[in-house]
Chain A
Amino acid sequence: MYVSHPTAAAVAGENPPREQKTAEQKAWDLAATVCDPEIPVLTIEDLGILRGVKVTKEPDTADGGMVPAVQVTITPTYSGCPAMDAIRDDLTTAFNNAGYPRVDVELVLSPAWTTDWMSESGKAKLQQYGIAPPSGHSAAARHAGPIRLSLAVKCPQCSSLNTKELTRFGSTSCKALYVCQDCKEPFDYFKVL
Chain B
Amino acid sequence: MSTPETTETAALAEETAGHGDISVGVAGSSNSGEATASATRITPGNALRPEDIALAVSRGTAKPSEDAAELALRLGDDALILAQRLGHWISRAPELEEDIALGNIALDQLGHARSFLSYAGGLDGRSEDDLAYFRREHEFRSVELFEQPNGDFAVTIARQFVVSYYQFELYRRLAQSTDATLAGIAAKAVKEVDYHRDHSAQWVLRLAHGTEESRTRMIHGFKVIWPYVDELFRDDELTARLSESGVAVQPSSLRADFDRLTGEVLAEAELDVPQVPAAPGGGRRGFHSEHLGYLLAEMQVLAREFPGASW
A contact residues vs B (CB 8 Å cutoff): 61, 69, 73, 76, 78-82, 84-86, 88-89, 92, 101-114, 138, 141-143, 145-146, 148, 166-171, 173, 177, 191, 193
Contacts and interface: CB of A to CB of B under 8 A. Distances in A.
Given A85-B43, A167-B97, A110 B111 contact: no
B108 A173 contact: yes
B237 interface: no
B44 to A, nearest CB: 11
Nearest to A75: B188
Contacts of B101: 167-169
17 contacts: A61-B10, A79-B115, A80-B112, A81-B111, A84-B48, A85-B47, A104-B8, A106-B54, A108-B55, A108-B57, A109-B55, A110-B183, A112-B187, A146-B201, A148-B202, A173-B107, A193-B191
B176 to A, nearest CB: 13
Overall SS of chain B's interface = helix
Contact of A88 (B48, B104, B105, B189): B48
Given A173-B107, A193-B191, A110 B100 contact: no
A146 B187 CA distance: 20
Nearest to A89: B46
Given A102-B11, A112-B188, A141-B172, 6 more contacts: A78-B108, A88-B47, A88-B52, A106-B54, A146-B202, A166-B97
B230 interface: no
Scoring A73, A138, A145 by chain B CB atoms within 10 A of each residue's CB, the highest score goes to A145
Nearest to A80: B111
B46 A109 contact: no
Contact of B54 (A78, A79, A107): A107
B105 A109 contact: no
Nearest to A105: B52
B62 to A, nearest CB: 14
Contact of B48 (A69, A79, A85, A146): A85
B111 A169 contact: no
B194 interface: yes
Name A's interface SS.
loop
B35 interface: no
Interface in B70-115: 97-98, 100-101, 103-105, 107-112, 114-115
B149 interface: no
A79 B6 CA distance: 30
A94 B14 CA distance: 23
A89 B52 contact: no
Contact of A82 (B42, B189, B191, B194): B42
Most A CB within 10 A of own CB, among B48, B52, B189: B48
Contacts of A143: 172
A82 B198 CA distance: 23
Contact of B199 (A61, A69, A107, A168): A168
B112 A79 contact: yes
